[in-house]
């Protein structure tokens, strides 16, 4: 098994290696990652420098939100693996970013599904495509995922399946050190319109139940939380407030382009970034996740030139330096976990005790401030 996994990320990766992992399922799938640590001595989550949050797994290298992308991110040093949760038609929660399958799967090669194309209104925009909510889990699993961006490595297209929320959790739990999860309640308005669960349950109920089933609980930095760290993120404030009644896990409100309306309230992100709104929402969330153009966990850091801001000389390390050392963020979403990890390892070995201590103490003060602000309803 260790041999198979060592091969898994070499250029001659073949699909049977991955299938082999899935076929070995028992109660929950098991994703053993190569580990130098003995069982029961997992290295804890680091809390002394900003979190390295692997955005959709190591999707700069492998197709996003697939098991290999998450396993690669863990090997490269991610503190958290990040995902987007949507639902299948039959109510199974899956890891997938877009509400439609068009951009990142081989759906167009499946003639049996050609008549499933639909147009639905998504956040006030009529959107046409193959929606995950029109496919059962079994049907979704017959598709294969592909790389989103044409300028990235295409060699893994068509090899990996869409995974479920539970499979994603299993990957984090099987990591050789403590690795947190960072799932998003994605498009809750659309999901609740199209998918019905027994007993009148909502998408948010299923989402929190899944976390609880695997033992995720506790407020930010509590003992339970440190054993199994998780942040719940959403662009939908109403869903986060609803979820705050179900779990005390920390929640992060994502802030989109400030000119567009939020998914579930009739307010723009401009309105909900006012001081008054922050006073209200901070009862329910421990932090905000702004887009790096607006600015605790900004997204998304990418190595390629077209995503870098001008004044960083096309150098992703300069961009990390600015946000970590000048702005003082607490975590970053990156498509290139390995690059952020390299940056953090190099700079920490160069820095003196003094600057390390200053940084750690600055982070602790921020965390203390966030916890004080957080009141359970
Ligand atoms: C979406 O399309 C429907 C049917 O053509 C139309 O009635 C509706 O106004 C459209 N919605 C938006 C937001 O454009
Ligand atoms: C939280 O739960 C209480 C009791 O069940 C209920 O009265 C309240 O409306 C809920 N709040 C939200 C925001 O759902
Ligand atoms: C949102 O605001 C617009 C304009 O103020 C109003 O016409 C509309 O009814 C509102 N929608 C909801 C769902 O409150
Ligand atoms: C940090 O400071 C301590 C005590 O002054 C010293 O013993 C240690 O070698 C220093 N470590 C580094 C990495 O500079």
How does pLDDT run across 124-150, given as a tens digit for each residue? 889 999 999 999 999 999 999 999 999
User: Which range has the worst mean pLDDT, 16-20, 52-56, 142-146, 297-301?
Assistant: 16-20
pLDDT (mean) for 239-252 = 93
CA 376–ligand 1 middle distance (angstroms): 40
CA 247–ligand 2 middle distance (angstroms): 12
Q: Tell me how far apart the alpha carbons of residues 243 and 103 are, in angstroms, rounded to a whole number.
A: 30
Higher pLDDT, 348 or 85: 85
pLDDT of residue 34: 72
pLDDT of residue 308: 61
pLDDT of residue 278: 72
pLDDT (mean) for 82-86 = 96
CA 64–ligand 1 middle distance (angstroms): 31
Residue with tokens 């295409």: 154
Residue 261, pLDDT above cutoff 80: no
* Model confidence, pTM: 0.76
pLDDT of residue 133: 98
Terminal CA-CA length for the chain: 47
C-beta of residue 108 within 8 angstroms of C-beta of residue 89: no
Whether 116 is in a domain gets the answer: no
Residue 258, pLDDT above cutoff 90: no
Residue 367, pLDDT above cutoff 60: no
Whether 290 is in a domain gets the answer: yes
Range of the domain at 96: 2-100+132-373
**Tens of pLDDT along 110-119?**
999 999 999 9
Whether 143 is in a domain gets the answer: yes
pLDDT of residue 307: 67
Q: Is the dihedral of CA 287, 195, 105, 99 positive or negative?
A: negative
Ligand 1 nearest-atom number relative to CA 125: 13
Whether 65 is in a domain gets the answer: yes
Q: Whose CA is nearest to atom 6 of ligand 1?
A: 126
Higher pLDDT, 43 or 355: 43
What is the band of 339 on the pLDDT scale with cuts at 50, 70, 90? confident
Residue 291, pLDDT above cutoff 60: no
Q: Measured from the CB, is residue 241 less than 6 Å from ligand 2?
A: yes
Radius of gyration of the chain (CA): 20
CA 50–ligand 4 middle distance (angstroms): 22
Q: Whose CA is nearest to atom 10 of ligand 1?
A: 126
CA 125–ligand 1 middle distance (angstroms): 8
Spatial CA neighbour of 56 closest among 155, 196, 191, 152: 152
Which residue of 126, 189, 190, 260 sits with most ligand 1 atoms within 8 Å of its CB, as the best mutation to test the pocket?
A: 126
pLDDT (mean) for 340-361 = 57
pLDDT of residue 327: 58
Distances (CA, A) of 128 to 90, 100, 125, 189: 21, 8, 10, 17
What is the band of 317 on the pLDDT scale with cuts at 50, 70, 90? low
Q: Tell me how far apart the alpha carbons of residues 285 and 222 are, in angstroms, rounded to a whole number.
A: 15
Specify the length of the chain in residues.
377
CA 349–ligand 4 middle distance (angstroms): 12
Residue 4, pLDDT above cutoff 50: no
pLDDT of residue 81: 95
pLDDT of residue 33: 80
Distances (CA, A) of 340 to 68, 81, 212, 323, 358: 19, 14, 31, 12, 20
Higher pLDDT, 267 or 240: 240
Q: Tell me how far apart the alpha carbons of residues 271 and 280 are, in angstroms, rounded to a whole number.
A: 12
Task: Give the ligand with the smallest distance to the CA of 349.
Answer: 4
Residue 76 CA from chain centroid, whole number: 16
Q: Is 26 helix (H, G, I), strand (E, B) or coil?
A: coil
CA 352–ligand 4 middle distance (angstroms): 8
Beta-bridged to residue 122, according to DSSP, are: 125
Residue 335, pLDDT above cutoff 90: no
Report the CATH number that the domain containing residue 24 is assigned in CATH.
3.20.20.190
pLDDT of residue 351: 46
Spatial CA neighbour of 235 closest among 182, 181, 187, 293: 187
Whether 107 is in a domain gets the answer: no
Q: Whose CA is nearest to atom 13 of ligand 2?
A: 242
User: Which range has the worst mean pLDDT, 105-109, 250-254, 289-293?
Assistant: 289-293
Pocket of ligand 1 (CB under 6 A): 121, 124, 126
What residues have CB less than 8 Å from 139, skipping those under 6 apart?
Answer: 88, 113
Whether 325 is in a domain gets the answer: yes
Q: Measured from the CB, is residue 274 less than 6 Å from ligand 2?
A: no
pLDDT of residue 245: 93
Whether 112 is in a domain gets the answer: no
Domain count, the chain: 1
Task: Give the ligand with the smallest distance to the CA of 356.
Answer: 4
Higher pLDDT, 158 or 302: 158
pLDDT (mean) for 147-173 = 95
Task: Give the ligand with the smallest distance to the CA of 357.
Answer: 4
**Tens of pLDDT along 168-197?**
999 999 999 999 999 999 999 999 999 999
Q: Is 130 helix (H, G, I), strand (E, B) or coil?
A: coil
Q: What is the mean pLDDT of the chain?
A: 79
CA 353–ligand 4 middle distance (angstroms): 6
Q: Tell me how far apart the alpha carbons of residues 86 and 92 are, in angstroms, rounded to a whole number.
A: 8
Spatial CA neighbour of 157 closest among 103, 94, 85: 103
Whether 108 is in a domain gets the answer: no
């Amino acid at each position: 098994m260790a041999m198979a996994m060592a091969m898994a990320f070499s250029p001659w990766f073949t699909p049977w290696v991955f299938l082999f992992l899935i076929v070995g399922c028992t109660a929950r799938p098991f994703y053993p990652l190569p580990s130098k640590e003995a069982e029961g001595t997992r290295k804890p989550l680091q809390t002394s420098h900003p979190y390295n949050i692997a955005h959709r797994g190591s999707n700069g290298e492998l197709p996003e939100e697939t098991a290999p992308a998450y396993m690669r991110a863990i090997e490269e040093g991610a503190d958290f693996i990040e995902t987007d949760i949507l639902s299948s038609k039959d109510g199974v929660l899956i890891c997938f970013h877009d509400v439609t399958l068009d951009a990142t799967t081989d759906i167009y090669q499946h003639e049996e599904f050609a008549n499933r194309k639909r147009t639905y209104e998504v956040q006030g925009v009529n959107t046409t495509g193959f929606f995950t909510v029109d496919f059962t889990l079994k049907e979704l699993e017959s598709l294969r995922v592909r790389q989103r961006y044409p300028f990235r490595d295409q060699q893994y297209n068509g090899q990996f399946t869409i995974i479920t929320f539970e499979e994603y959790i299993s990957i984090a739990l099987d990591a050789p050190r403590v690795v947190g999860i960072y799932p998003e309640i994605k498009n809750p308005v659309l999901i609740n319109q199209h998918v019905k669960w027994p007993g009148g349950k909502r998408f948010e109920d299923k989402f929190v139940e899944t976390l609880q089933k695997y033992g995720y609980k506790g407020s930010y930095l509590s003992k339970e939380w440190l054993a199994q760290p998780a942040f719940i993120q959403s662009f939908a404030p109403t869903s986060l407030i609803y979820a705050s009644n179900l779990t005390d896990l920390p929640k992060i409100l994502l802030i989109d382009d400030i000119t567009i309306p939020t998914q579930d309230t009739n307010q723009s992100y401009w309105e909900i970034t006012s001081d008054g709104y922050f006073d209200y929402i901070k009862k329910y969330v421990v932090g905000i996740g702004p887009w790096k153009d607006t600015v605790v966990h900004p997204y998304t850091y990418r190595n390629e030139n077209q995503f870098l801001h001008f004044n960083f000389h096309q150098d992703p390390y300069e961009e990390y330096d600015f946000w970590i050392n000048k702005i003082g963020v607490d975590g970053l979403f990156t498509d290139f976990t390995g690059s952020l990890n390299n940056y953090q390892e190099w700079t920490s070995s160069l820095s003196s005790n003094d600057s390390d201590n200053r940084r750690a103490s600055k982070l602790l003060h921020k965390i203390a401030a966030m916890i004080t602000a957080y009141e359970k309803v």
